[in-house]
Amino acid sequence: MRVISKRKGVITIEITDVEMMIINNSLNELLHNNDIIKNEGEFHSRIGSSVDEARVLLHQLNPSGGIS
């Protein structure tokens, strides 16, 4: 991974296919784990986002394979 630029609220990065797969698979595993997602507060304190925000990110990373 290489950070291209940082400015307020936006970070531009360059990642390899493998790094993209790791991020995609990690989000996918989290969002398919009912023990984690059933408690929104617990999810937020562990991950730092809401379940919905994580779902949106997964879909943006992999529009054809993200969960709904």
Question: pLDDT tens-digit profile of 29-55?
Answer: 988 887 777 888 888 988 899 999 999
Q: In whole angstroms, what is the distance from residue 12 CA to residue 45 CA?
A: 25
Strands, DSSP E only, in the chain? Answer: 2-7, 10-14
Q: Helices 40-47 and 51-61 sit at what angle, rounded to 10 degrees?
A: 60
- pTM of structure: 0.77
Domain coordinates of the chain in residue numbers?
16-68
Q: What is the pLDDT of residue 65?
A: 65
Ramachandran bin of 9, using left for φ above 0, alpha for ψ from -120 to 50, beta for the remaining angles = left
Q: In whole angstroms, what is the distance from residue 41 CA to residue 48 CA?
A: 10
